């Protein structure tokens, strides 16, 4: 076991191959233009405390100096109004500074709406609202892989459409790279795409590599934890970055995989995750992290994720592992004596950036050049997973996890749906891709699926 953690730092950072001709890729940061913070509240964001059923955290930004701040909220049933003091701190970045504030609401009641506003001295925000789902019969949420939109203008329409289509989801899960780069320009764009979503929809987000400033070591953009306020129940030095939120039947664990840059942080995460999984009595256990255990992009290998965390997922009954980073789609069902079961490993993307994929037969389902979102429902002893295209809302993948004693049975509906694995348009003229080889692998993949010969056990 000790050998697992004697991994050189540079291997963890690069996946085993630090290419000096990619110096800018690894170490050069996008310049950040000077910015100023408005003297009114903006970037209002709804997150959760440790108990996702009864608590909500709200963060916001206002001016560049601290002021007396509080949150005011009203129960829609009792009409009682409560004021909560807010905690503020200054966030200094490469190009400016802002005052961020956070307040936590506790003792909330299911199946009820709440109205709130935030106040700094005499400056008052508009009123916003959120509701706590009943959670009696089911819990549903939406999961996104990378958003990472370089200001294409499409993400706002996607979010608005989904917010309208699924008004009663318990939360949205974001698997990292929500912004293109850690600059205020891209944070502004992110909040312009969120529109009213961030003020009313609970967001559970994981960090990605695009939220980190490059270097040795990489440093998380300080706006991340100021914006996404999560419980400090993670490993040492990862408070609010790696965390766990509990719902009635669900233990939802988020791991800051990009922040794991050496054996010490890796070991701390291993011990932390093992303890949470071993002690959890929740019916469903879901883990979300940015880096996949099995990469869908060709020539990537996040071996430290696979060899450190995968054994814990399998030993302690994790049901789903939600991942991003690769800008492609993959589903892998764990095989037990050839019988598909859990954990089910998912990689997805909702970014306008599309990468080439690999054709390792470990993947039960693949996708390329797609923008997807996933709608997941937990109801009694059944987890229903569906993946949809954002453009036409067409079903791309579907399965059921059915609790059968201590194990899960899988009903794979996606096997009857066609795969889209063609080389993305952005790579059609790339000299880095051997198109003849890619096309040959694609046809071999299709033939394998036709003959139903996927036998490799992950």
pLDDT digits (tens, 9 = 90+) for 222-281: 999 999 999 999 999 999 999 999 999 999 999 999 999 999 999 999 999 999 999 999
> Residue 107 sits in a domain of what CATH number?
2.60.40.380
The domain boundary residue, chosen from 83, 106, 131: 131
84 with 110, same domain: the answer is yes
97 with 241, same domain: the answer is no
Q: pLDDT tier at 175 (50, 70, 90 boundaries)?
A: very high
271 with 315, same domain: the answer is yes
> Residue 150 sits in a domain of what CATH number?
3.60.21.10
Stretch 434-440: mean pLDDT: 90
Q: Specify if 428 maps to a domain.
A: yes
SS3 percent helix, strand, coil of the chain, rounded to 5, is 25, 35, 45
Tell me the three state secondary structure of residue 355: coil
Q: pLDDT tier at 179 (50, 70, 90 boundaries)?
A: very high
Q: pLDDT tier at 154 (50, 70, 90 boundaries)?
A: confident
Residue 22 pLDDT > 80, yes or no? Answer: no
| More confident: 339 or 323 | 323
| Pair 325, 347: CB distance under 8 Å | yes
Q: Specify if 251 maps to a domain.
A: yes
CA pair distance 362, 419, nearest whole angstrom: 15
pLDDT tens-digit readout, 71-82:
999 999 999 999
Stretch 382-409: mean pLDDT: 92
End-to-end, the C-alpha distance of the chain in Å comes to 20
- 321: Cα separation from own chain's centroid: 10
Domain residue limits at 97: 44-131
SS (H, E, C) 52-86: CCCCEEEEEECCCCCCCEEEEEEECCCCCEEEEEC
Phi-psi region of 456 (alpha: psi -120 to 50; beta: other; left: phi over 0): beta
Residue 201 pLDDT > 50, yes or no? Answer: yes
- Which residues lie closer than 8 Å to 355 by C-beta, 6 or more apart? 297, 326, 327, 328, 424, 427
Number of structural domains found in the chain? 2
Residue 317 pLDDT > 60, yes or no? Answer: yes
Residue 2 pLDDT > 60, yes or no? Answer: no
Q: Specify if 31 maps to a domain.
A: no
- Taking Cα atoms as reference points, which of 180, 221, 441 lies closest to residue 327? 180
What was the pLDDT predicted at 1? 40
376 with 413, same domain: the answer is yes
192 with 213, same domain: the answer is yes
Beta bridge partners of 297: 357
CA pair distance 187, 43, nearest whole angstrom: 9
CA pair distance 133, 127, nearest whole angstrom: 20
pTM score, two decimals? 0.92
- Which residues lie closer than 8 Å to 11 by C-beta, 6 or more apart? none
- Taking Cα atoms as reference points, which of 397, 378, 390, 394 lies closest to residue 169? 378
Q: Specify if 364 maps to a domain.
A: yes
CA pair distance 400, 412, nearest whole angstrom: 7
The domain boundary residue, chosen from 98, 131, 164: 131
202 with 274, same domain: the answer is yes
Encoding tokens for residue 166? 């699924």
């Amino acid at each position: 076991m000790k050998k697992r953690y004697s991994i050189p730092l540079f291997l963890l950072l690069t996946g085993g191959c630090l290419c000096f001709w990619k110096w800018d890729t690894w170490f050069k940061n996008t310049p950040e233009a000077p910015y100023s913070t408005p003297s009114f509240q903006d970037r209002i964001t709804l997150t959760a405390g440790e108990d996702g059923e009864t608590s909500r955290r709200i963060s916001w930004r206002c001016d560049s100096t601290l002021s007396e701040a509080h949150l005011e909220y009203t129960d829609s049933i009792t009409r009682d109004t409560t004021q909560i003091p807010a905690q503020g701190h200054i966030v200094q970045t490469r190009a400016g500074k802002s005052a961020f504030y956070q307040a936590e609401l506790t003792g909330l009641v299911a199946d009820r709406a709440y109205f709130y506003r935030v106040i700094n001295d005499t400056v008052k925000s508009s009123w916003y609202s959120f509701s706590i789902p009943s959670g009696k019969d089911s819990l549903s949420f939406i999961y996104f892989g990378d958003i990472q939109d370089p200001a294409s203008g499409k993400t706002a329409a996607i979010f608005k459409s989904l917010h309208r289509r699924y008004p009663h989801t318990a939360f949205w899960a974001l698997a990292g790279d929500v912004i293109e780069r850690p600059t205020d320009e891209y944070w502004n764009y992110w909040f312009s795409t969120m529109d009213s979503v961030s003020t009313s929809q609970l967001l559970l987000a994981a960090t990605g590599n695009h939220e980190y400033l490059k270097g040795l070591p990489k440093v998380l953009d300080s706006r991340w934890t100021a914006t996404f306020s999560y419980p400090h129940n993670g490993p040492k030095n990862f408070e609010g970055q790696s965390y766990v939120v509990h719902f009635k039947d669900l233990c939802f664990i988020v791991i800051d995989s990009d922040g794991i840059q050496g054996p010490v942080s890796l070991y701390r995460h291993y011990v932390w995750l093992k303890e949470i999984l071993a002690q959890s009595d929740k019916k469903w256990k879901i883990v979300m992290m940015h880096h996949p255990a099995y990469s869908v992009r060709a020539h990537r290998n996040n071996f430290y994720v696979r060899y450190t965390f995968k054994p814990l997922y399998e030993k302690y009954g994790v049901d789903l592992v939600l991942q991003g980073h690769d800008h492609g789609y993959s589903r892998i069902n764990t095989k037990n004596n050839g019988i598909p079961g859990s954990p089910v490993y998912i990689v997805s993307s909702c970014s306008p950036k599309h990468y080439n994929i690999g054709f390792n037969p470990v993947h039960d389902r693949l996708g390329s050049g797609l923008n997807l979102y996933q709608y997941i429902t937990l109801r009694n002893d059944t987890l229903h997973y569906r993946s949809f295209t954002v453009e036409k809302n067409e079903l791309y993948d579907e399965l059921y996890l059915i609790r059968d004693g201590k194990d899960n049975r899988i009903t794979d509906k996606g096997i009857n749906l066609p795969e889209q694995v063609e080389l993305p348009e952005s790579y059609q003229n790339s000299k880095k891709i051997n198109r003849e080889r890619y096309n040959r692998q694609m046809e071999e993949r299709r033939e394998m699926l036709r003959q139903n010969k996927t036998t490799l056990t992950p």
